Amino acid sequence: MNDYTPGPESGLPPIRATLEGIESSRIREVSDIGMTMEGVTPLWFGESDMTTPDFVREAAAASIAKGETFYSSNAGIPELRRTLAKYESGLRSREIGPERIVVTISGMSAIMLAMETFLEAGDNAIVHTPIWPNCIQTVRIMGAEARLIKLDDGPEGWTLDLDKLFAMADERTRAIFINSPNNPTGWTASAEDQARLLEFARARGIWIIADEVYTRLSYESERAPSFLDIAKPDDPLVVVNSFSKNWCMTGWRLGWMVAPEPLVDTFTKLVEFNFSCAPVFVQRAGIAAVEQGEDFVAETKALYRRNRDMVYQRLAAIDGVRMANPPGAFYAFIGVDGMADSLAVAKRILMEQKVGLAPGSAFGPGGEGHLRLCFAVQSDKLSAALDRLAASLEAGVV
Ligand SMILES: Cc1ncc(COP(=O)(O)O)c(C=O)c1O
């Protein structure tokens, strides 16, 4: 089979046909315009407006000053793998050893490594939506089918019908992707949901890729339930995590995964052929973040909780607005009655109110009709942006 498509009209050689169907992110369609404008409050990306804490930056600076500028081991420097193993074991109710940790250059790259490991053309992976678009597109980049199941949107919030999900699996299903707490809805899988998913995956020989980058951001408990709380070391489970959200390190590009030990060799090999290793000075910063960052994680979570409640109180009461207070992550996913083109509305709100939001349509089926707002910013800035956004919504922006 010819998997190549003729090159563009420029006369360049062919590229993989699979890539023709890959859309660029619609979040960028709004932010690309907004970034050229003055006075915009950007709430479109999934990041805080706080710079990385000093103790993290200082650790990286010290490492550079020491001359740690060389290649290092594929799976991560032993000190960081040990630190992460201790961190995970402390959070979960069981021991997780460093031999199960692979350091990556972001949560994003961990997701891509998992897709490269499990999927090829003809396979499928089940992914719930709305979801961060990258979780769908990485399946498609592998030439596999993304089987999308919509979360149900009720007055009490979002839920996932597991029986429906199980019925979608067939003999070519290689992975189930679960992002909890979820970007953009905040949906958070219960421990019972996770137990059922794990049991199904074990029985059917299907991998679970659990994206737990928001696991510390649960507003209903100390932290969200994790598959790692209940999984055995040899379960078909890969858990993706990131330094971006907990320690305000989006620009550093550092993440990790927890995998069954026999799979770590495969991931380590793939790290070599993707990015070879994470920079050592970034890994040193990661160690400082984990070892000294608990107060920072607690303070930022308290800020996000206050912000979350402010968004809910300010917007949920507006006529035509539908939203439940999200139980996790740091986004409000705002349903607006009658809105059929969230991209156009996000652009209009940007031009008229200088508030930068992400269109719900960027997040796959079930996302249209919504706008995503990231509330991980300083409260006064958020409050002023909410005044302007509320004015648009009250005036019936759709
Ligand atoms: C659900 C989810 N997974 C993974 C990531 C990846 O984060 P990073 O690549 O910055 O580690 C994000 C970032 O927004 C996300 O929302």
User: Is it the case that residue 294 has pLDDT exceeding 80?
Assistant: yes
Give the tens place of pLDDT for each residue, 167-224: 999 999 999 999 999 999 999 999 999 999 999 999 999 999 999 999 999 999 999 9
Give the Å distance between the CA of 27 and the centre of ligand 1. 14
Averaged pLDDT score across all residues of the chain = 96
The minimum-distance atom of ligand 1 relative to the CA of 243 is: 11
The minimum-distance atom of ligand 1 relative to the CA of 109 is: 9
User: Is it the case that residue 118 has pLDDT exceeding 70?
Assistant: yes
User: Is it the case that residue 8 has pLDDT exceeding 90?
Assistant: no
pLDDT band at 361 (very low <50, low <70, confident <90, very high): very high
**Ligand 1 atom 7: residue of nearest CA:** 107
User: Is it the case that residue 154 has pLDDT exceeding 80?
Assistant: yes
Give the Å distance between the CA of 8 and the centre of ligand 1. 31
The crossing angle, in degrees rounded to 10, of helices 54-65 and 280-292 is 150
CB 177 within 8 A of CB 146: no
Look at 42-46, 153-157, 202-206, 273-277 and tell me which has the smallest mean pLDDT. Answer: 153-157
In whole angstroms, give the CA distance from residue 21 to residue 251: 28
Residue to mutate (ligand 1; options 136, 216, 245; most atoms within 8 A of CB): 245
User: Is it the case that residue 296 has pLDDT exceeding 60?
Assistant: yes
In whole angstroms, give the CA distance from residue 252 to residue 247: 10
Q: Ligand 1 pocket: which residues have CB below 6 Å?
A: 46, 106-108, 132, 179, 183, 211, 213, 242, 244, 250, 255
Give the Å distance between the CA of 391 and the centre of ligand 1. 31
pLDDT band at 20 (very low <50, low <70, confident <90, very high): confident
Give the Å distance between the CA of 213 and the centre of ligand 1. 7
In whole angstroms, give the CA distance from residue 188 to residue 223: 10
Specify the pLDDT at position 24.
85
The minimum-distance atom of ligand 1 relative to the CA of 254 is: 11
Specify the pLDDT at position 196.
98
CB 62 within 8 A of CB 279: no
Specify the pLDDT at position 7.
63
User: Is it the case that residue 271 has pLDDT exceeding 80?
Assistant: yes
Give the Å distance between the CA of 55 and the centre of ligand 1. 23
Look at 15-29, 331-345, 367-381 and tell me which has the smallest mean pLDDT. Answer: 15-29
Give the Å distance between the CA of 6 and the centre of ligand 1. 33
In whole angstroms, give the CA distance from residue 260 to residue 227: 13
Specify the pLDDT at position 155.
82
User: Is it the case that residue 3 has pLDDT exceeding 90?
Assistant: no
User: Is it the case that residue 72 has pLDDT exceeding 80?
Assistant: yes
Q: Encoding tokens for residue 314?
A: 């300010």
Q: Which residue, 118, 71, 137, 104, is CA-closest to 258?
A: 104
The minimum-distance atom of ligand 1 relative to the CA of 108 is: 9
**Ligand 1 atom 13: residue of nearest CA:** 46
CB 178 within 8 A of CB 190: no
Q: What is the enclosing helix (H) or strand (E) of 334?
A: strand 331-336
Specify the pLDDT at position 1.
45
CB 49 within 8 A of CB 377: yes
**Cα–Cα–Cα angle for 100, 103, 105, nearest 5°?**
155
- Burial readout 78-94 (b: 16 or more C-beta within 10 A, e: otherwise): eebbebbbbbbeeebee
Give the tens place of pLDDT for each residue, 155-169: 889 999 999 999 999
Give the Å distance between the CA of 108 and the centre of ligand 1. 6
Specify the pLDDT at position 368.
97
Give the Å distance between the CA of 107 and the centre of ligand 1. 5
Give the Å distance between the CA of 256 and the centre of ligand 1. 12
Beta bridge partners of 175: 125, 207
pLDDT band at 103 (very low <50, low <70, confident <90, very high): very high
Residue type, 223: R
Q: Which residue, 112, 121, 171, 175, is CA-closest to 147?
A: 175
Residue to mutate (ligand 1; options 31, 115, 134; most atoms within 8 A of CB): 134
- Which residues, 6 or more positions from 340, have their beta carbon under 8 angstroms from its beta carbon? 368, 369, 398
The minimum-distance atom of ligand 1 relative to the CA of 242 is: 11
Give the tens place of pLDDT for each residue, 244-255: 999 999 999 999
